[in-house]
Amino acid sequence: MSAAMLAQVTANGLSLAGLYALVAVGLTLVFGVMRILNFAHGEFVMIGAYLTYWLFALWGVDPLLSFALVLALMALLGALVQVTLVTRVLAAPHLNQILLTFGIAVTLQNLALLLWTGDLRAIKVWYASTALSVAGVSLSLGRTVGILIAATLTVGLYLLLFRTEYGRALRAVAQDPDAALVMGIPIQRVYVLAMAIGAAYAGAAGVVASVSMFTYPLLGFLFGLKAFCVVILGGLGSVFGAVLASLFLGLVESFVGTLIPQGGSWAEAISFIVLLLVLLVRPRGILGLE
Partner 1 sequence: MSAAAARAGWTLVALAALVAPVPLGNYGLHLLVLVCMYVALSSSWNILTLAGQLTLGHAGFFGVGAYTSALLALRLGVPFWAGMGAGAVAAAALAGVIGLVCLRLRGVYLAIATLSLVEALKIVVLNVPDVTEGSIGITLSPVFAGARRPAYYVMLAVAALPVLATVWIKRSKLHVILGAIREDEGAAQMAGINTTAYKVFAFALSAAFAGLAGGFYPHYITYIVPDTAFSIGLSIEAQIMPILGGLYTVAGPVVGAVVLTLAGEYLRTRFGAANLLVYGVVMVLAILCLPGGLVGLARRWRAPFRVRRAEQPQEGVADVR
Residue 110 β-bridge partners: none
By CB neighbour count within 10 A (0-12 exposed, 13-18 middle, 19+ buried), where does 237 fall?
buried
Q: Does 279 bind partner 1 (CB under 8 A)?
A: yes
Residue 138: CB minimum distance to partner 1, A: 29
Residue 229: CB minimum distance to partner 1, A: 7
Which residue spans within the chain are E strands per DSSP?
A: 131-134, 137-140
Q: Does 259 bind partner 1 (CB under 8 A)?
A: no
Name the residue type at position 236. L
For 32, half-sphere exposure in the C-beta direction (CA atoms, 13 angstrom radius) is 32
Query: Using CB under 8 A as the criterion, what x/- string covers residues 202-221 for binding partner 1?
Result: -------------------x
Q: Does 95 bind partner 1 (CB under 8 A)?
A: yes
Measured CA to CA, the distance from residue 212 to residue 116 in angstroms comes to: 20
Residue whose CB is less far from partner 1, 68 or 277: 277
Question: Which of 64, 76, 83, 89: binder of partner 1 (CB under 8 A)?
Answer: 89
Query: Using CB under 8 A as the criterion, what x/- string covers residues 231-250 for binding partner 1?
Result: -x------------------
Residue whose CB is less far from partner 1, 176 or 268: 268
Cβ-contact 270, 63 below 8 angstroms: no
Q: Tell me the H-state helices in 164-218.
A: 165-175, 177-182, 187-212
Cβ-contact 28, 195 below 8 angstroms: no
Span from 8-16, 179-187, 197-205, 225-233 in contact with partner 1 (CB under 8 A): 225-233
Name the residue type at position 216. Y
Residue 264: CB minimum distance to partner 1, A: 11
Q: Does 128 bind partner 1 (CB under 8 A)?
A: no
Span from 3-11, 103-111, 152-160, 251-259 in contact with partner 1 (CB under 8 A): 103-111
Q: Does 106 bind partner 1 (CB under 8 A)?
A: yes
Residue 27: CB minimum distance to partner 1, A: 11
For 151, list phi and psi in degrees, rounded to 5: -65, -45
Residue 63: CB minimum distance to partner 1, A: 28
Q: Does 228 bind partner 1 (CB under 8 A)?
A: yes
Residue whose CB is less far from partner 1, 65 or 92: 92
Cβ-contact 231, 36 below 8 angstroms: no
Measured CA to CA, the distance from residue 250 to residue 26 in angstroms comes to: 17
What is the size of the binding site for partner 1 (CB under 8 A)? 45
User: Residue 132 belongs to what H/E stretch?
Assistant: strand 131-134
Residue 214: CB minimum distance to partner 1, A: 18
DSSP character for 119? Answer: -
For 166, list phi and psi in degrees, rounded to 5: -60, -45
Binding residues (CB under 8 A) for partner 1: these are: 37, 39, 85, 88-89, 91-96, 98-100, 102-111, 113-114, 221-222, 225, 228-229, 232, 262, 265-266, 268-269, 271-273, 275-276, 279-280, 283
